[in-house]
Structures are given as structure tokens and as C-alpha cells.
């Protein structure tokens, strides 16, 4: 899969997994809704039920901003399998124009966000690397 195809697959995916590192070094991974714009990926803390408003992913990003995001596709026909990992540096954005821009990107992708605009913190990842694999071709 070439980078253009990887970008297309990532942009059209509905869910990704955000991997961060806890302060004690243990990995932490959560599914996220996201939007991709050029070399930036954004996700927001939305209104879906959470155990706490003090999310581990936010504390992790503040302590260790290096993250990975995984987008994948599973199929019982294993010739259709693929995954793309995005590596980058994350930051937390609360309020202001950058927050509004991220929300606009997310609303354009998810009708649920248009119906109920989230107001939580945005995790913005500046992407520095793309790695991908598909069953039918070599990786990027």
C-alpha cells in the first residue's frame, strides 16, 4: 500500500485506536473517533459516558506526548486485511480557534457531532510517520 492509499483508508475509517504511555511506562490504548487533515489528526473528548472527566489519555499526553494511532480493517477473508499506524506528537487543545477548527473537522465526518457538538478537550496529533501493511501488497 502506498502512502496515498494509506491516507485514503485512514481518512475514511470511522474508528482508530490511540496509544499513549502512562507515567509509569505502561501502555494505554483507547478507541477514538477522529478526523485527518494533512499531517494532523484530531480527536475530541465527547459526551459519551466515561468513568471520569479526568481521562488517562489526557494525562498521558501531557506527560509523554509521543503517541501512535492505529487504523485497521479485519475481514474473514484474510486477503482483505490491512492496517496503518500513524506516529506523532500529541498536544491537548482547549478552547480557541484551533479547538473550533478541530471540532469543525470532526463534525464534517460524524453526524453525531453535528447533532450534539462536543465541548471537551481536543487531542491534536502532529504526524511524523506512517507505517502500513495490507495482505495483498508490501508495507509503506
pLDDT on residue 71? 98
Q: 1-33 burial, b for 16+ CB within 10 Å, e for fewer?
A: beeeebbebbeebeebebbbbeeeeeeeeeebb
Within a domain: 140: no
Write 94-101 long-range contacts (CB < 8 A, 24+): 94/121, 94/122, 98/122, 98/124
Within a domain: 106: yes
Q: Are 125 and 67 within 8 A, CB to CB?
A: yes
CATH number of the domain to which 125 belongs: 2.30.110.10
Range of the domain at 17: 3-134
Within a domain: 41: yes
pLDDT on residue 59? 94
Per-residue pLDDT of the chain (140 residues; tens, 9 = 90+): 888 999 999 999 999 999 999 999 999 999 999 999 999 999 998 756 556 557 899 999 999 999 999 999 999 999 999 999 999 999 999 999 999 999 999 999 999 999 999 888 999 999 999 999 999 766 65
Within a domain: 48: yes
Length of the chain: 140
pLDDT on residue 138? 61
- Count of structural domains within the chain: 1
Within a domain: 139: no
Amino acid at each position: 500500500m502506498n502512502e496515498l492509499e494509506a491516507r485514503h483508508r485512514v481518512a475514511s475509517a470511522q474508528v482508530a485506536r490511540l496509544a499513549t504511555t502512562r507515567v509509569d511506562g505502561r501502555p494505554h490504548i483507547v478507541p477514538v473517533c477522529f478526523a485527518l487533515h494533512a499531517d494532523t489528526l484530531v480527536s475530541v473528548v465527547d459526551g459519551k459516558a466515561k468513568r471520569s472527566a479526568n481521562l488517562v489519555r489526557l494525562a498521558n499526553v501531557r506527560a509523554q506526548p509521543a503517541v501512535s494511532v492505529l487504523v485497521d480493517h479485519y475481514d474473514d477473508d484474510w486477503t482483505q486485511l490491512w492496517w496503518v499506524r500513524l506516529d506523532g506528537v500529541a498536544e491537548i487543545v482547549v478552547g480557541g480557534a484551533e479547538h473550533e477548527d478541530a471540532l469543525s473537522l470532526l463534525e464534517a465526518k460524524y453526524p453525531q457531532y453535528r447533532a450534539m457538538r462536543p465541548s471537551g478537550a481536543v487531542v491534536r496529533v502532529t504526524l511524523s510517520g506512517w507505517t502500513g501493511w495490507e495482505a495483498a501488497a508490501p508495507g509503506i
